[in-house]
Amino acid sequence: MSDEKRTPSPEEAKQRLLARYPAKVARKRAQQIVINHAIEGGKVPEIMSNARTIPGVITQRGCTYAGCKGVILGPVRDILTITHGPIGCSFYSWLTRRNQTRTQSPDEANYITYALTTDMQEEDIVFGGEKKLKAAIREAYEIFNPKAIALCSTCPVGLIGDDVHSVAREMKAELGINIFAFSCEGYKGVSQSAGHHIANNGVFTHVVGTDDNGKKGKFKINMLGEYNIGGDAFEIERLLEECGITMVASFSGNATYDQFATAHTADLNCIMCHRSINYMAEMMQTKYGIPWIKVNFIGASATAKSLRKIAQYFDDEELKAKVEEVIAREMPEVQKVSAEVKPHTEGKTAMLFVGGSRAHHYQELFEEIGMKAVAAGYEFGHRDDYEGREVLPFIKIDADSRNIEELDVHPDAVAFKPRKTEEQLANLKAGGLSFSEYEGMMRQMQDGSLTIDDISHYETEVLLETYKPDIFCAGIKEKYAVQKSGVPLKQLHSYDYGGPYAGFKGAINFYKDIDRMTSNPIWGHLKAPWQKGPEVPAVYVAA
Amino acid sequence: MFLRHTTTDIKERGTLSINPAKTCQPIGAMYAALGIHGCLPHSHGSQGCCSYHRSTLTRHYKEPVMAGTSSFTEGASVFGGGANLVAAIDNIFTLYSPDVIAVHTTCLSETIGDDVPSFVHQAKMKGSIPEGKYVIHTNTPSYVGSHVTGFANMTKSMVDYFSESTGEARDQINIIPGFVDPADMAEIKRIAAMMEVKIVIFPDTSGVLNAPQTGVHHMYPEGGVTVPQLISTGDSRATLALGQVASAPAGEALNSKCKVPLEILDLPIGLLATDRFINALRTAAGVEVPESVNDERGQLIDIVTDMEQYFHGKRVALAGDPDQLVALTEFLITLGMVPAHIVTGTPGKAFEKKIEEITAKCPVKVNVKAGSDLFLLHQWIKNDQVDLIIGNTYCKYIARDEDIPLIRVGFPIVDRIGHIYSPIVGYKGGIRLLEKILDAILDRQDRDAGEENIELVM
């Protein structure tokens, strides 16, 4: 592959990407395909994102239900989630996201392996499904005896006007456990992103702050936007524990209901996936006075940096020393493996089209083994995920975004407690720690590389043909089409059932996996010996 | 325990479904549409449906599954999805040049009452459908039936849109294979070729969802029934519809539209169902059954006579789709096994009745339920243990918890690859099933055998 490479100019590549589109579609896509270059003042170019997908282009995107039930609620083991709708949505979101969870004892609740649904039938669509939903909640309560039940709405629920929230209130009063509902119908918003926001709002309103008996510890944080795909959270938990940092709550990898309920007792919120969870951090800051910082545990140096940031925030010499000790202990193995794979991976190219943060975070790991991201983009990111949060005041709110509720949050009369004095905050900022900031993906990308929002299958094929990257990162729907084109695809949703990729151990796993995938000799055998060169067919002739 | 909250205490459930044994109609329609050569399926609804269906089919086949979506937003849900579908049709023909776009609806577009044919008409008026290209559709409300119903509906739409009767009979037989894997469709074609019977099989996903790795991605792989073949089905001598639920509606439509004689058969899984299929094909085509087919049949029987002791009396729990379960249950009875617990998620009392008929002579009472789920199956197993589970990948959690061997048959299988390349239909498919059953049972015997009684020869 590598020897055939001819890198076209980014302008030429963009032209190719747009060439076949109808004029109106091309005009829109031109604003979502951006050539990266530094602009004076540290700015980056503007990119259109969080915009409607053009029908029929073959998109990677899913729906609001997937973002709410699948992404945010999916990893929580002891909230019993009932999907109110026809059978499919519950079925498809059943165990398919690899959210690992680890209970402390065999008696503890774990509903991860269960899919519960009202399985709406035609008569429910015609006559309404509220009665059925109530009956289903009673049955679920009797069988599982959970401490909380979440109700997730699918498309028809909103259309027929079932009031899931009043059902939740009524059943909460009847059964005496916390029951809350999410209006996460698939058609809301333009992607999964709307579902994240709806889930954040619901969990914040109905669960966070309901229990003051959080975990005790000297350095208490919440980890936000980490979903424990392939055990990532276990590796992060291990590192935090070794540093003596207490994780009160995770949103929501390996999480429990009690973690959410006590999250307000932490002193710092650390955001991994900015897109899916920044709402929660912002609301907790307003209501409880907990500051938030952006962290990233994908990549060994990013992990070290994130641990140092947390130590810097708590400003404790013992913690700082412990963090350095852990980093010093972990890094040699990381460096050893990276040195082993680098001779094979150095100079190779990658493309990343995934998620709302992964396309950014994983560039760190590729850089660590000398690989370059030539094109990247999000499936459901917003402008702030690309350009940084400073563009937030300038983002136009369109009709689709307006449909997603923004909660009106105020400081809590009792529980609001500033974690740092103004002076302390100023000192920390002067020391280089940024609060409530995310710089976005585009700043990390090299001049001349491409950022493409909500990539279509057609554009994927053009990119493969134009750049012939050594590896392409996306999801299951893209996996085999890309591989049939002769390019290995690394799934960054499911990790191809491997991982973890977070933290130091995760970095080692990733280096080895990418080395294996980009060096696999099978790609050299796609053609049979007789298909390879021009050859004159001949037969042996008897002498 | 993976399913630690599942207990022996079976409480009557009227409304709550736990751990489904079915999914929704549109995925079946998408799968069937992929069995038309040069076809791009299109999901008329919100994006998530299409994404979920493509993901599930991709995990099952480990192949590209291409499909478009109308990408409904809240506006489209209020005002109707017409503009979205018209735009989608234009974009799809411009970018992806399929021969056919096969549109299926979703619970969203069904609930708001979108009229797909009128939208397609608008697209035609706009000139968005190139000459010689087709847009077909089927209605697949997710709140009716199951994924099998969706498959049946899209297959019937192939007849509604394409089948034509010219008045001139063709010497060919239509075979509607049902919701089976590409390897099964290929096996049916192989059997017909051995018998020298010309057939049109539709849909046909062989060569589409088990395409070779060549380093070049073909949006439309070699396989699939072609449009001219579909048109010609109206002139065929007869139709064999395999599977009551998945295939009968299309066969009946073809019978009423083009007067093609119809025979509805069980899926040819196992000895007796394959016998009936071969016999029906022989009769319909007026051919002799060649020795090569008889040999395969004899090999299957040979395995049963050789190994009968290992089958006899073994208790089996089954979950899956009605057509597969009917044939599998009959096969187990033929082997002297006991199909103790049977559930399908697909609703329909006819299924329960059919299973009761097949198992009438079974020495124990057979638990059977349609419109049910894996939670109930697991509870039945907990109350009354079995030696073997036959079902899809989701059954592995039950299998691990109860320490019972699992044979993966059905949809979806997302953790093994055999089903993509090797059939379960026909005598060869029966031989494969026997091998799988024996491997599971004998591996278990080897694992559990004591030092004093492990058997070398079995």
C-alpha–C-alpha distance, residues A498 and B177, integer Å = 36
Check whether the bond before A343 is cis (ω within 30° of 0).
Answer: no
Q: Which of residues 365-404 of A touch B (CB under 8 A)?
A: 399-400, 403
Is the Cβ pair A125, B20 closer than 8 Å? no
Q: Is residue B11 part of a domain?
A: no
pLDDT class for A3, splitting at 50, 70, 90?
very low
Residues B40 and B136 in one domain: yes
Contact indicator for B354, B368 with CB cutoff of 8 Å: no
Per-residue pLDDT for B147 more than 80?
yes
Place of tokens 């899919």: A115
Per-residue pLDDT for B367 more than 90?
yes
Last residue of a domain, one of B162, B186, B210: B162
Residues B37 and B157 in one domain: yes
- Tokens in use for B371? 């419109």
Share of chain B above pLDDT 90, in %: 100
Helix (H) or strand (E) holding A315: none
Q: Is residue A66 flagged as an active site residue?
A: yes
Q: Which residues of A217-238 are buried (b: 16+ CB within 10 A; e: fewer)?
A: eebbbbbbbbbbbbbbbbbbbe
Q: Is residue B167 part of a domain?
A: no
Residues B297 and B438 in one domain: yes
The predicted pLDDT at position A7 comes to: 76
> Which residue in A55, A87, A483 is closest to B22 by CB distance?
A87
Look at residues A133, A119, A139 and name the one whose alpha carbon lies nearest to residue B11.
A139
> Which residue in A142, A187, A486 is closest to B215 by CB distance?
A486
Is the Cβ pair A485, B217 closer than 8 Å? yes
Q: Is residue B2 part of a domain?
A: no
Is the Cβ pair B47, A479 closer than 8 Å? no
The predicted pLDDT at position A543 comes to: 57
- pTM of whole model > 0.95? yes
Residues B182 and B283 in one domain: yes
C-alpha–C-alpha distance, residues B330 and B302, integer Å = 18
Chain B residues within 8 A of A136 when measuring between CB atoms:
15-16
Q: Is residue B412 part of a domain?
A: yes
Residue A451 sits at the chain B interface (C-beta within 8 Å):
no
Contact indicator for B102, B42 with CB cutoff of 8 Å: yes
State the catalytic residue, choosing from A13, A66, A263, A302. A66
Is the Cβ pair A186, B108 closer than 8 Å? yes
Last residue of a domain, one of B290, B306, B340: B290
How many CB atoms neighbour CB A102 within 10 A? 13
Q: What is the DSSP string of A504-537?
A: HHHHHHHHHHHHHHHH-GGGGGSS-HHHHS----
Check whether the bond before B206 is cis (ω within 30° of 0).
Answer: no
Q: How large is the greatest C-alpha to C-alpha distance in chain B, in angstroms?
A: 80
State the catalytic residue, choosing from A196, A275, A358, A361. A196
Per-residue pLDDT for A42 more than 90?
no
Give the mutation candidate from A1, A17, A187 for the B interface (greatest B CB count, under 10 A).
Answer: A187
Q: Is residue A274 flagged as an active site residue?
A: no
Look at residues B11, B21, B12 and name the one whose alpha carbon lies nearest to residue B377.
B21
Q: Is residue B12 part of a domain?
A: no
Q: Which of residues 340-359 of A touch B (CB under 8 A)?
A: none
Is the Cβ pair B55, A476 closer than 8 Å? yes
Between the CA of residue A446 and those of A47, A294, A511, A514, B337, what are the distances in Å? 16, 22, 21, 21, 65
Contact indicator for A404, A188 with CB cutoff of 8 Å: yes
Residues B300 and B275 in one domain: no
Nearest-5° Cα angle at A518, A514 to A519:
115
Residue of B nearest to A468 (CA): B215
Is the Cβ pair B215, A479 closer than 8 Å? no
> Which residue in B22, B26, B88 is closest to A55 by CB distance?
B88
Residues B268 and B349 in one domain: no
Residue A132 sits at the chain B interface (C-beta within 8 Å):
yes
Which DSSP state fits A216? P
Chain A residues within 8 A of B47 when measuring between CB atoms:
53, 59, 61-63, 186, 191
The predicted pLDDT at position A513 comes to: 98
Between the CA of residue A519 and those of A511, B240, B417, what are the distances in Å? 12, 49, 24
The strands making up A471-474's β-sheet, listed across from edge to edge, are: A33-35, A450-452, A372-377, A349-353, A471-474, A489-491
C-alpha–C-alpha distance, residues A241 and A246, integer Å = 7
Strand partners, B201: B175
Which DSSP state fits A229? B
Chain A residues within 8 A of B84 when measuring between CB atoms:
55
Q: Is residue A77 flagged as an active site residue?
A: no
Residues B418 and B351 in one domain: yes
Helix (H) or strand (E) holding A148: strand A148-153
Residues B264 and B370 in one domain: no
HSE (side-chain half, CA atoms, 13 Å) at B247: 26
Chain A residues within 8 A of B16 when measuring between CB atoms:
82, 116-118, 135-136, 139-140, 143
Is the Cβ pair A66, B94 closer than 8 Å? no
Q: Is residue B55 part of a domain?
A: yes
Rounded mean pLDDT, A134-138? 98
Q: What does the pLDDT look like over B329-348, one tens digit per residue?
A: 999 999 999 999 999 999 99
Query: How many domains is chain B partitioned into structurally?
Result: 3
Rounded mean pLDDT, A377-403? 95
| ipTM value greater than 0.85 | yes
C-alpha–C-alpha distance, residues A184 and A191, integer Å = 11
Chain B residues within 8 A of A461 when measuring between CB atoms:
217
Contact indicator for A376, A363 with CB cutoff of 8 Å: yes
Q: Which residues of B238-261 are buried (b: 16+ CB within 10 A; e: fewer)?
A: bbbbbbbbbbbbbbbbbbeebebe
Alpha helices in A369-444 (DSSP H): 383-387, 399-402, 422-430
The predicted pLDDT at position B295 comes to: 98
The predicted pLDDT at position A39 comes to: 87
Q: What does the pLDDT look like over B195-239, one tens digit per residue?
A: 999 999 999 999 999 999 999 999 999 999 999 999 999 999 999
Output the domain CATH number for residue B180.
3.40.50.1980
Q: Is residue B453 part of a domain?
A: no
Rounded mean pLDDT, B424-450? 98
C-alpha–C-alpha distance, residues B340 and A510, integer Å = 46
C-alpha–C-alpha distance, residues B381 and B8, integer Å = 9
Residues B245 and B384 in one domain: no
Is the Cβ pair B63, A94 closer than 8 Å? no
Look at residues B39, B20, B26 and name the one whose alpha carbon lies nearest to residue B109.
B26
Question: What ranges make up the beta strands (E) of B87-234?
Answer: 100-105, 134-138, 173-176, 199-201
Q: What does the pLDDT look like over A195-221, one tens digit per residue?
A: 999 999 999 999 999 999 999 999 999
Share of chain A above pLDDT 70, in %: 97
Chain B residues within 8 A of A132 when measuring between CB atoms:
15
Per-residue pLDDT for A268 more than 60?
yes
The predicted pLDDT at position A1 comes to: 42
Q: What does the pLDDT look like over A476-500, one tens digit per residue?
A: 999 999 999 999 999 999 999 999 9
Per-residue pLDDT for A535 more than 90?
no
Secondary structure class of A496 (helix, strand, coil): helix
Helix (H) or strand (E) holding A307: helix A300-314
Look at residues B113, B107, B114 and name the one whose alpha carbon lies nearest to residue B144.
B107
Residues B224 and B141 in one domain: no
Secondary structure class of A543 (helix, strand, coil): coil
Give the mutation candidate from A4, A17, A57 for the B interface (greatest B CB count, under 10 A).
Answer: A57
Strand partners, B265: B242
Nearest-5° Cα angle at B73, B72 to B74:
125
C-alpha–C-alpha distance, residues A200 and A186, integer Å = 16
Is the Cβ pair A58, B77 closer than 8 Å? no
* B330-333: long-range contacts, CB 8 A cutoff, minimum separation 24: B330/B266, B330/B270, B330/B272, B330/B273, B330/B358, B331/B269, B331/B270, B331/B271, B331/B272, B331/B273, B331/B430, B331/B433, B333/B358, B333/B359, B333/B361, B333/B362
Q: Which residue type is seen at A175?
A: L
Mean residue pLDDT across chain A: 96
Share of chain A above pLDDT 90, in %: 94
The strands making up B262-265's β-sheet, listed across from edge to edge, are: B199-201, B173-176, B238-242, B262-265
Is the Cβ pair A59, B73 closer than 8 Å? no
Is the Cβ pair B4, A144 closer than 8 Å? no
How many CB atoms neighbour CB A518 within 10 A? 24
The predicted pLDDT at position A147 comes to: 98
Rounded mean pLDDT, B155-178? 98
Is the Cβ pair B48, A65 closer than 8 Å? yes
Q: How far is B347 from chain A (nearest CA, A)?
A: 11
Chain A residues within 8 A of B143 when measuring between CB atoms:
86, 120-122, 124-125, 156
Q: Is residue A63 flagged as an active site residue?
A: yes
Alpha helices in B233-384 (DSSP H): 244-258, 271-285, 291-311, 322-334, 349-358, 374-383
Chain B residues within 8 A of A82 when measuring between CB atoms:
16
pLDDT class for A453, splitting at 50, 70, 90?
very high
Rounded mean pLDDT, A22-31? 97
- Tokens in use for A172? 């909460």
- Tokens in use for A390? 């400073």
Residues B437 and B320 in one domain: yes
Last residue of a domain, one of B139, B162, B185: B162
Is the Cβ pair B111, A124 closer than 8 Å? no
Q: Is residue B122 part of a domain?
A: yes
Q: How large is the greatest C-alpha to C-alpha distance in chain A, in angstroms?
A: 104
Task: Give the strand pairing for B238-242 and B262-265.
Answer: parallel
Taking the CA atoms of B304, B305, B310 and B312 in sequence, report the sign of the dihedral they define.
positive
pLDDT class for A2, splitting at 50, 70, 90?
very low
Whole domain around residue B76: which residue ranges?
Answer: 25-162
The predicted pLDDT at position A38 comes to: 85
Chain B residues within 8 A of A476 when measuring between CB atoms:
55, 58-59
The predicted pLDDT at position A301 comes to: 98
Question: Dihedral through CA A469, CA A474, CA A480, CA A484, nearest 10?
Answer: -10
Between the CA of residue A498 and those of A98, A102, A354, A504, what are the distances in Å? 10, 17, 17, 15
Q: How far is A496 from chain B (nearest CA, A)?
A: 11
Q: Which of residues 134-173 of A touch B (CB under 8 A)?
A: 135-136, 139-140, 142-144, 154-156, 158-160
Q: What does the pLDDT look like over A10-19, one tens digit per residue?
A: 999 999 999 9
Q: What does the pLDDT look like over A65-81, one tens digit per residue?
A: 999 999 999 999 999 99
Residues B300 and B424 in one domain: yes
> Which residue in B54, B95, B214 is closest to A477 by CB distance?
B54
